[in-house]
A and B are shown apart, each in its own frame.
Chain A
């Protein structure tokens, strides 16, 4: 099979202080098929180069929005990215087929525990429900939206926990690069990582 080409759109306004994300990013495999794109490093003034970003998107077939969960949503630069890059008649609209059939999902870090993200928990909604706007955005662009890869409880983690999550992320990306995904099967799960835990490597 031909390998998957993965684009990681990473948004973190204070990356240097995020233990969880440092471990995750550190474990991204060195591969010509994986592009790590650090948006806050590239566009500190929020002045996004639309043409360049569109070209990057069209060169990959799996897109990952990798970001921390802030106020139940993404950091502002990622929203700016969505607003500016996903142009009418390019990403959506009658002539907008550029992203058609590409796979997209989110990699999310959050301080809160998984138990809180339910109807009776303090966060009242599940992660999946909270990510509905992103899901719908992907749908409008005719993309395949898969469940998120979520790292919960980053506020109470030990160094070992961070490292463990990082290693899993590395394996996960490696698997993604080299395998055909069974989307229907993955969509059965709330989280991408829950599905990945069932895989024997």
Chain B
């Protein structure tokens, strides 16, 4: 193998491995870590990699395609159909609004040709799917109202890229044939009605092939029990669809998205997700590295005023348009802000459009490079803007909202119970408590859910439960009980750490996803730990015994005993785990723990077999 390739791989990987954890440790998003890593290894700092940053980005853009495939998988067709109003409405509003303002502004203040201005405005109106979706995922906001609105706008932009690329040659003075590098499709030669027919044909092919060809194929592959073959076919699907879309001049990301939607209902959804996700993660990381490395600092140094002022104005314009779009759709203030900050950057399609424009001679090469630097800068700025929003603006807007609520129907009383996280787990607890007339205060970070809960008469606080101010506002000082039921174990643990530190007398009941989570919680001296994988699994085991002919009561008692012993052994093993200096539980250690568990389980079986009601045992005893 080419050693040069290996060396490059080492540079990229070590940059990522060093920078991303540091960024995470500092409480920044991983995207920022990748970007910084890219800048550091790029031509202007350490110079490990040269100008090929751009090429890497083109390659790594495939990560965006995979990301859209994964999003498609999460989105069933019916849900997609429900979102059409937002996709068309918010999407077009944002895109047209931003383009017009940028176009008029640049016409007034810059001495560019109008064709140039229009091309630049269109390129900059698009946001970065990669950055936004990755950020939303990291913050756990994908399924919230903000997440869905952001996604709707991004999807519209992805679709809009196609007509934009088709439209650009019209602005060019250069003959299209001359620019033979232009993204040509196989079907440009045909009459436009035929093109339309072909496009519709291909899209329906994706639909039917997905449903009637690919799913049966996966069945066959699944039967071979070769994991890597399954991964290969998942990749083949994504690559194949992307290629097909490119052939007819549509966006590969859009095609992958549609393929995802088609397969969202299939039984292989989770396997496909699991197979594609690591590739997506790596490629996206590479993409952000590429963005960082391709920032041309020379251009910035030559004309810093232009880059920074233009970048700032661009971000501001995008922010304002997004803010009012979101407001028009009656979202709340904090949602408007988050959406507007989140999508305020220019995106990877900007690079594509800029390079295309250079070929078409619409934009002078220096200007195009400057715009690309602006795009890269705006992408770098996003994580910082979000950080400012989160730390400074958000806490203030939240308090404003609370005051408004107070005016209306806010009954300020301290409830005895606080429930953090009101998903399927937390809401079950909340319902049980409410059915028994116990009032609880709820902390959650999905503002749509919160509206519903408020209407149902729950006292709800919106926001990040790891923040001390929110915990105070929710009444942790006076509550009797805190129920930590947040989906994400890491967040849950963080909440508990904060509580233990600041409200040491508050009784905590916590959800744990599995044994490993439970160990962590035991380390934090939490007494009441409820593993979601314990109780229902034991219940199922009991029913399995019953199905096999065991009497129900005996099986039930075995189940009760099993839970008791499991809880005891979990605590024992939690301590033992530290003896082995192993903080990181490897698979081998996990197997060891399981073995120890199985051994002690045999004791629990013996213990559960006590001799009440057992006349055989009594007879034996009397015979002795």
| Cβ contact within 8 Å between A47 and B557 | yes
B612 touches A47 (CB 8 A): no
Within 8 A of B (CB), among A40-94: 45, 47, 50, 83-84, 87-89, 93
Interface size class of A (residues with CB under 8 A): under 10
Report whether over half of chain B's contact residues are helix, strand or loop; otherwise say mixed: helix
Complex Cα spacing A93 to B622, Å = 8
Q: Lowest 3 CB-CB distances: which A-B pairs, in order?
A: A47-B560, A84-B612, A83-B612
Say yes or no: B621 contacts A88, CB within 8 Å.
Answer: yes
B501 at the interface (CB under 8 A from A): no
Pick the contact of A93 from B561, B612, B621 — CB < 8 Å?
Answer: B621
B552 to chain A, nearest CB (A): 13
Give complex CA distance A88, B618 in Å: 7
B611 within 8 A of A: yes
**Chain A residues whose C-beta falls within 8 Å of the C-beta of B618 in the assembled complex:** 88
Kindly identify which residue among B613, B617, B621, B622 contacts A83, using a CB–CB cutoff of 8 Å. B613
Taking CB atoms, residues of chain B closer than 8 Å to A84 are: 610, 612
Q: Which residues of B contact A93 (CB under 8 A)?
A: 621-622
Closest chain B residue, CB of each to CB of A87: B611
6 additional A-B pairs beyond A83-B612, A87-B610, beta carbons within 8 Å, are: A47-B564, A50-B610, A84-B610, A84-B612, A89-B621, A93-B622
Residues in A with CB closer than 8 Å to B617 are 88
Instruction: Map CB proximity to B onto A88-106 as digits: 1 under 8 Å, 0 otherwise.
Output: 1100010000000000000
Contacts of B613 in A (CB 8 A): 83
* 532-563 of chain B: CB within 8 A of chain A: 557, 560-561
Chain A residues numbered 14-44 whose CB sits less than 8 Å from any CB in chain B: none
Once bound together, how far apart are the Cα atoms of A83 and B621, in whole Å? 17
Can you report 11 A-B residue pairs in the complex whose CB atoms are below 8 A from each other?
Answer: A47-B560, A47-B564, A50-B610, A83-B612, A84-B610, A84-B612, A87-B611, A87-B612, A88-B611, A88-B617, A93-B622
Kindly state the interface size class of chain B when it binds its partner.
Answer: 10 to 19
List chain A residues, Cβ under 8 A from B560.
45, 47
Chain B residues near A50 (CB-CB < 8 A): 610
Q: Give the distance in Å from the alpha carbon of A45 to the alpha carbon of B559 in the complex.
A: 11
A88 to B612, CA, bound (A): 9
Distance in Å: Cβ of B615 to nearest Cβ of chain A: 10
CB distance from A23 to the nearest CB of B (A): 25
Nearest Cβ on chain B to A97's Cβ, whole angstroms? 15
Contact with A along B516-544 (1 / 0, CB 8 A): 00000000000000000000000000000
Q: List A residues at the B interface (Cβ < 8 Å).
A: 45, 47, 50, 83-84, 87-89, 93
Contacts of B622 in A (CB 8 A): 93
Main secondary structure of the interface of A (DSSP, over half): loop
Q: Roughly how many angstroms separate A77 CA and B618 CA in the complex, as a whole number?
A: 22
**What is the bound-complex CA distance between A50 and B611, given in angstroms?**
11
Question: In the complex the two chains form, what is the Cα distance from A89 to B621 in whole Å?
Answer: 8
Rounded to whole angstroms, the CA-CA distance of A89 and B613 in the bound complex is 14
B557 to chain A: which residues have CB within 8 Å?
A: 47
- Give Cα A91–Cα B618 distance, bound, in whole angstroms: 13
- How close is A4's CB to chain B, nearest CB, in angstroms? 29
Which of B560, B610, B612, B617 has the most CB atoms of chain A within a 10 A radius of its CB?
A: B612
Hey, which chain B residues are within 8 Å of A88, CB to CB?
Answer: 611, 617-618, 621
Give bound CA distance, A83 to B611, whole Å. Answer: 9
Decide: A47 near B561, CB < 8 A? Known: A83-B612, A83-B613: yes
For residue B112, give the distance in angstroms from its CB to the closest CB of chain A.
77
Q: How many angstroms from the CA of A83 to the CA of B617 in the assembled complex?
A: 14
Chain B residues within 8 Å of A45, by CB: 560
Chain A residues with Cβ under 8 A from B612's Cβ?
A: 83-84, 87
In the bound complex, residues from chain B placing their C-beta under 8 Å from that of A87 are 610-612
When chains A and B are docked, how far (Å) is the Cα of A110 from the Cα of B370? 93
User: Cα distance A117–B611 when bound, in Å?
Assistant: 36
A93–B620 alpha-carbon span in the complex (Å): 12
In angstroms, how far is the closest chain B Cβ from the Cβ of A140?
13
Looking at the assembled complex, report how far the CB atom of A10 sits from the nearest CB atom of chain B, in whole angstroms. Answer: 21
CB proximity of B567 to chain A, nearest CB, Å: 13
**Nearest opposing residue in chain B for A80, CB measure:** B612
Cα of A45 to Cα of B538 in the assembled complex, Å: 15
For the complex, give the distance between the alpha carbons of A75 and B622 in Å.
30
Bound together, the chains give a CA A87 to CA B610 distance in angstroms of 9
- Whole-angstrom distance between the alpha carbons of A93 and B613 in the complex? 15
Q: How far is the CA of A45 from the CA of B610 in the complex (A)?
A: 17
Bound CA span A83–B618, Å? 13
Smallest beta-carbon distance B606→chain A, Å? 13
| Shortest distance between the CB of B235 and any CB in chain A (Å) | 50
> How many Å lie between the Cα of A163 and that of B560 in the bound state?
40
Q: Mark B590-623, 1 if CB is under 8 A from A, else 0.
A: 0000000000000000000011110001100110
Least CB separation from B560: chain A residue = A47
Min C-beta distance of A101 to chain B, whole Å = 23
With the chains together, A47 CA to B611 CA distance in Å? 14
Bound state CA distance, A89 and B622, in angstroms? 10
Q: Which of A84, A87, A88 has the most CB of B within 10 A?
A: A88
Quote the shortest CB–CB distance from A104 to chain B (angstroms). Answer: 19
Nearest A residue to B561, CB-CB:
A47
Nearest Cβ distance between residue A40 and chain B, in whole angstroms? 16
Tell me the minimal C-beta distance from B309 to chain A in angstroms. Answer: 70
The residues in B between 101 and 123 inclusive whose CB is less than 8 angstroms from any CB of A are none
Shortest CB-to-CB span from A41 to chain B, Å, is 17
Question: Given the complex of chains A and B, what is the CA–CA distance between A118 and B610 in angstroms?
Answer: 40
Q: Measured between alpha carbons, how far is A47 from B564 in the docked complex, in Å?
A: 10
Residue of A whose beta carbon sits closest to that of B610: A50
Nearest CB on A from B290, distance (A)? 59
Interfacial chain A residues near B621, Cβ < 8 Å: 88-89, 93
Contacts of A47 in B (CB 8 A): 557, 560-561, 564
A84 to B553, CA, bound (A): 14
- Considering the complex, give the chain A residue whose CB is closest to the CB of B613: A83
Complex Cα distance, B24 from A149, in Å, reads 69
CA distance A50 to B561 in the complex (A): 12
Query: Chain B residues with Cβ under 8 A from A83's Cβ?
Result: 612-613
